[in-house]
Amino acid sequence: MYPTYMPQYPQRQQEYRPMMPMMAQPVVPQSNGFNCLPVTSKAEAEVYQIPFDGTTTYFVDTANGKIYAKTFNANTGAAPLVTFSRDAEVVVQPPQYVTMEDFNALKEEIDKLKKPTKKEKQNDTD
Question: How does pLDDT run across 78-121, given as a tens digit for each residue?
Answer: 899 999 988 777 788 898 999 999 999 999 999 988 887 666 66
pLDDT tens-place string over residues 67-79: 999 998 888 888 9
Strand ranges of the sheet holding 34-38, from the earlier edge strand across to the other edge: 34-38, 56-61, 66-71, 81-85
Alpha-carbon torsion 8, 9, 13, 15, what sign? negative
Which residue, among 69, 73, 71, has the nearest Cα to 82 in the 3D structure?
69
Contact 59, 38 (CB under 8 A): yes
How far apart, in Å, are the Cα atoms of 125 and each of 37, 60, 118, 121?
87, 82, 11, 6
How far apart, in Å, are the Cα atoms of 22 and each of 16, 87, 93?
17, 57, 72
Q: Residue 61, SS3?
A: strand
| pLDDT more than 90, % of the chain | 32
Contact 45, 39 (CB under 8 A): yes
Decide if pLDDT at 19 tops 80: no
Pairing of strands 56-61, 34-38: parallel
